[in-house]
Copies of this chain bind each other. A is one copy, B any other.
């Protein structure tokens, strides 16, 4: 499976493509940062992020897009810009019918370091090690995009098992209700 990981942002948007599967080796295909000038209007910056992501989708044809879930940050203005960048990335994926998943920063950190409270240096170290890279990816946004893609590859099976278990439980409940209804009919 090929995952496009995106650490959304207007000033620096981390973007990475990773191949792999659950419990298997992961391989970095490409990683970069999309930058947009602070002087551009918000709409133009969003357009540049969207164009950049579209280009990556064309070139790398991922199976799924994983985006970092934005939380309220100290700076509300920055958080809004980040959320809007995440929104146009999700839109680009949805336009191509690609599934989009959001992962929280702590899920991403836990997936690659084992701790949801790991710092940036630890995330970069583990990303470099897990992908067998000769040098550490820079800046932090690039490393985060790689970590996000790895997180998606490794968390997906857990989520799928959960979804299957929920589907089985719902099916059992449905059968139970059907049996109850049939029993009531017999009594009537």
A43 within 8 A of B: yes
Per a CB cutoff under 8 Å, which of B43, B46, B94 touches A44? B94
Q: With the chains together, A132 CA to B84 CA distance in Å? A: 35
**Which of the 9-residue segments A11-19, A68-76, A136-144 touches chain B?**
A68-76
Q: Does A184 contact B (CB under 8 A)?
A: no
Q: Which of A17-75 contact B (CB under 8 A)?
A: 41-44, 46-47, 50, 70-72
Q: Inside 8 A of A42's CB, which chain B residues have their CB?
A: 90, 100, 102
* Any B CB within 8 A of the CB of A91: yes
* Number of A positions contacting B (CB below 8 A): 26
Q: Which of B41, B71, B84, B95 contacts A84 (CB under 8 A)?
A: B84
Q: Does A111 contact B (CB under 8 A)?
A: no
Provide 24 A-B residue pairs closer than 8 Å at the C-beta atoms, listed in order of the A residue. A41-B100, A42-B102, A43-B91, A43-B94, A43-B100, A44-B94, A46-B87, A47-B91, A47-B94, A47-B95, A72-B72, A72-B76, A72-B79, A79-B80, A80-B83, A83-B83, A83-B84, A83-B87, A84-B84, A84-B87, A84-B90, A85-B87, A87-B87, A91-B91
